[in-house]
A and B are shown apart, each in its own frame.
Chain A
């Protein structure tokens, strides 16, 4: 099974900061990766699919990059509504593992 290692597990940042979250796959997954944002008590919302494609309606300050085994989610300028938990998901092969999550908190 493919394992996904997401880092960091938590992150403190300020409004306006640039932040990067990383997911590493234990095997080559090409571009079979999505990034999700989840706020407390709500369903996850996909931000990025196919590693770098921006989901329709998602602000352009979110971007994804990488292929193979190393992937990053970047938020170019944090906004107050961006404080949430972020997950990566590998969908190249079964079973689909999520990353462990990154809780982004206000500094």
Chain B
């Protein structure tokens, strides 16, 4: 079965850090551009970051709201995608999804990981 599974979510204090992982199974991540998208409680969807594939030099892009605090990376040998989140604030509380948001026909999304930033 083709799927993405996020892990690493949880409760973190303001100013803290957390790393999310996204494991792909049933397919190879290596050809895909991969994204992180988040959804705050009761709110709409917000694109967070993208990392391109090796052929495109693993180029990264970020939303202004997370630039300089979040880092997206990947390990194609392990079929894993990561999101390192630093200097977290309560505004970062959300469900985080890994996904292929672009033009690839797969359009696959994970089930999401909840990150709660609270003291």
Q: What is the interface of chain A, defined by CB distance below 8 A to chain B? A: 32, 34, 36, 38, 42-46, 49-50, 53, 55-56, 87, 89, 91, 94-101
Given contacts A43-B97, A43-B109, A43-B112, are A87 and B61 in contact (CB under 8 A)? no
B101-114 interface bits toward A, Cβ cutoff 8 Å, 1 = contact, 0 = none: 11101010111100
Give A55 to B37 CA distance when docked, in angstroms: 19
On whether the beta carbons of B107 and A34 are closer than 8 Å, the reply is yes
Number of A-B contacts (CB under 8 A): 55
On whether the beta carbons of B102 and A55 are closer than 8 Å, the reply is no
Complex partner residue of B111 from A38, A43, A97, A100, CB under 8 angstroms = A43
Please, which residues of chain A bring their CB within 8 A of the CB of B110? 43
Q: What is the interface of chain B, defined by CB distance below 8 A to chain A? A: 35, 37, 44-47, 50, 61-64, 97, 99, 101-103, 105, 107, 109-112
User: What are 23 A-B pairs with beta-carbon distances under 8 A?
Assistant: A34-B101, A36-B45, A38-B45, A43-B97, A43-B110, A44-B99, A44-B109, A45-B109, A49-B103, A49-B105, A49-B107, A53-B105, A55-B107, A87-B45, A94-B50, A95-B47, A95-B62, A96-B35, A96-B101, A97-B47, A98-B46, A101-B44, A101-B45
Give A36 to B109 CA distance when docked, in angstroms: 11
On whether the beta carbons of B61 and A95 are closer than 8 Å, the reply is yes
Given contacts A43-B97, A50-B103, A91-B102, are A96 and B50 in contact (CB under 8 A)? yes
Task: Give chain A nearest CB distance to B22 CB in angstroms.
Answer: 12
Please, which residues of chain B bring their CB within 8 A of the CB of A91? 101-103
On whether the beta carbons of B105 and A44 are closer than 8 Å, the reply is no
Give A20 to B79 CA distance when docked, in angstroms: 38
